[in-house]
Chains A and B, each alone.
Chain A
Amino acid sequence: MKKILEVRGLTKIHGRGCELCLESTGPDMDTNICPHCGSVVACHNITLDLHEGEILGIMGESGSGKSTVVKTLFFDDAPTSGEALFFDGERQWDMFALNAAQQRWLRNHRFGMVYQNPHLGLNFNVSAGGNIAERLLMSDLAHYGEIRDRARRLLARTEVLPERMDESPKKFSGGMQQRVQIAKALATKPPLLYLDEVTTGLDLSVQARILDLILEIQQELGTAMIVVTHDLGVIRLLTGRTIVMKYGRVIETGLTDQILEDPQHAYTQRLVASAL
């Protein structure tokens, strides 16, 4: 299998940071706030690999830094240190060494992001079709008819009624907004997709259909995905491999089945036990 993403030693510290930050935070210290300088170590020394067409889960409680990892990889946030390589066919991108324009290009052409809150991923001042058009326009498509056609097909694929394509997503239900977000993320057929708590806050039947849709897309397009969630059900259903995070550190990695059936770390054991 071909590697698509390689992250090494990714660290993000909010605040000015001090020498003692890293040794006085983490799961062993039971905090991610440095007692000496008050900085927040959102994540430290995150190392992961992602292969083509694979779904990787990042699991952990609120504030464990799992969203931060995805945000830095989508260039929403700049990391404090660390390295990430993105393999795109023959090309290889050193993601954090790129300038803003190159990062934007990667973001628009090669990555997709689905946020927990549709307000982050969608522009509510334009129609659902307009949201997809925006992403297509970002990737330098400037043919109105073709944009419209592709937006219609994408929305149909994510089971949004094409008749509602010219309505504002404001008028949509939460599940439909999430579908529009997924359609928008997929508009440029990105090889890498980040899903940040996509099903949180939706009712169970809607959750199930969104998860089905994500799996279908992964089968169809072979998109590699990083799924961030605190929901063990989502992890079990979608992912092949999982990373468990606590206080900004990776405490366990491995095959999803292994982690769910035979958790090694005390925290993971508690997490799995509490869900069952």
Chain B
Amino acid sequence: MNPGYELPLDEAGYSFGFLDEYAKREVRRTILKAISIPGYQTPYASREMPMGRGFGTGGLQVTLSLIGKGDTLKVIDQGADDSVNAVNLRHFVELTCPGVDTTEHTAEATLIQSRHRIPETPLTEAQVLILQVPYPDPLVVVEPSEARRKVMHGEGDYSRLLTKLYEDIVQFDEITISHRYPTRINGHYVIDPSPIPRYDVPQLHQSPALILLGAGREKKIYAVPPYTRADPLAFDDVPFRTEDFTGEQGQRRACERCGATDSFLDELIADDGGKHWHCSDSDYCNSRVAGQAEQAQETWA
């Protein structure tokens, strides 16, 4: 590196995007490696961030390394743009990356950092989805030693993970993993796709957008490159299935706000104990409500 080169700093003494250029370069290099080996957990030197590990530091470092002027960022937490975590992360990026736009609309974003959900609106080739990952290794439930896990990953030996699924079917007649569903990428490495619900897993398959997964505490980055196979682990005769939103009358439940029957629903318990179902993706729900209001106005006018 050129010792005469001075890093451009802002008035608080930070370079653009909080991380110094060398740190960002290292993260970018790791990302390139992660894309080249789909699903491989690439180790990197996760930096200290001005927030606790476990609050999305992994995703944030990936975001800050990729973001530049002209980018538009959307941050989601459990599908919502307005929850504390999402608001704070968005605010942090606005503070440290002058000239970057933020948005709540999936279609407008070039970078989307997300926790626990993949947006309902289909992603495009021009977008990058960054998922925050608490536990990157799906094998951790069956093998405590990381050295041995690495060998198992290298040899594509996931029989013990499948044994876990077998035990589930024996005990409960179905696979009981609700989120973090182990998914095989490009026919070799099995990844923990972060705590997205099963409903979102099929979106990893042949996704037009690049999907990056960053684990800050565990210091790993891995990727699902665009148009790559992503197969959730299952048996030949017990196929993978997503959440069932069938209501009491046997119909697919609809969002009580926007009426959508094609979205992932959150179950909310009201004060009176009644159950309500709303879209988990707030942008999807809001845009539908706004669209319906517009239509209603046109009809009246």
Known: A142-B235, A142-B236. A134 touches B159 (CB 8 A): yes
A233 near B: Cβ within 8 Å? Answer: no
Of A25-33, A122-130, A153-161, which binds chain B?
A122-130
Binary flags per residue of B229-250, CB closer than 8 Å to A gives 1, else 0? 0000001111000000000000
Residues of A within 8 A of B159 (CB): 134-135, 137-138
A145, B173: Cα distance in complex, Å: 12
- Nearest-neighbor residue (CB-CB) of B161 within chain A: A137
A101, B151: Cα distance in complex, Å: 9
Known: A129-B170, A143-B236, A144-B235. A137 touches B151 (CB 8 A): no
Residues of A within 8 A of B237 (CB): 143-146
Residues of A within 8 A of B238 (CB): 144
A69 near B: Cβ within 8 Å? Answer: no
CB of B157 within 8 A of CB of A147, answer: no
Which of B154, B157, B163, B235 contacts A126, CB < 8 Å?
B163
Residues of B within 8 A of A148 (CB): 170
Majority secondary structure of chain B interface residues (helix, strand, loop or mixed): helix
- Nearest-neighbor residue (CB-CB) of B235 within chain A: A144
A133, B237: Cα distance in complex, Å: 15
A147, B157: Cα distance in complex, Å: 18
CB of A130 within 8 A of CB of B157, answer: no
Known: A104-B155, A127-B170, A144-B169. A137 touches B236 (CB 8 A): no
Residues of B within 8 A of A126 (CB): 163-164, 167
A257 near B: Cβ within 8 Å? Answer: no
How many positions in chain B have a CB within 8 Å of any CB in the partner chain? 18
Residues of A within 8 A of B252 (CB): none
B45 near A: Cβ within 8 Å? Answer: no
A129, B170: Cα distance in complex, Å: 9
Known: A134-B160, A143-B235, A144-B236. A100 touches B155 (CB 8 A): yes
B166 near A: Cβ within 8 Å? Answer: yes
CB of A104 within 8 A of CB of B166, answer: no
Residues of B within 8 A of A135 (CB): 159
Residues of A within 8 A of B163 (CB): 123, 126, 130, 133-134, 137
B162 near A: Cβ within 8 Å? Answer: yes
- Nearest-neighbor residue (CB-CB) of A134 within chain B: B163
Q: B-side interface residues toward A, CB under 8 Å?
A: 151, 154-155, 157, 159-160, 162-164, 166-167, 169-171, 235-238
* 27 A-B pairs (CB sep. < 8 Å): A100-B151, A100-B155, A101-B154, A101-B155, A104-B155, A104-B157, A123-B160, A126-B163, A127-B167, A129-B166, A130-B163, A130-B170, A133-B166, A134-B160, A134-B163, A134-B166, A137-B163, A138-B157, A138-B159, A143-B235, A144-B166, A144-B169, A144-B235, A144-B236, A144-B238, A147-B235, A148-B170
Q: A-side interface residues toward B, CB under 8 Å?
A: 100-101, 104, 123, 126-127, 129-130, 133-135, 137-138, 142-148, 166
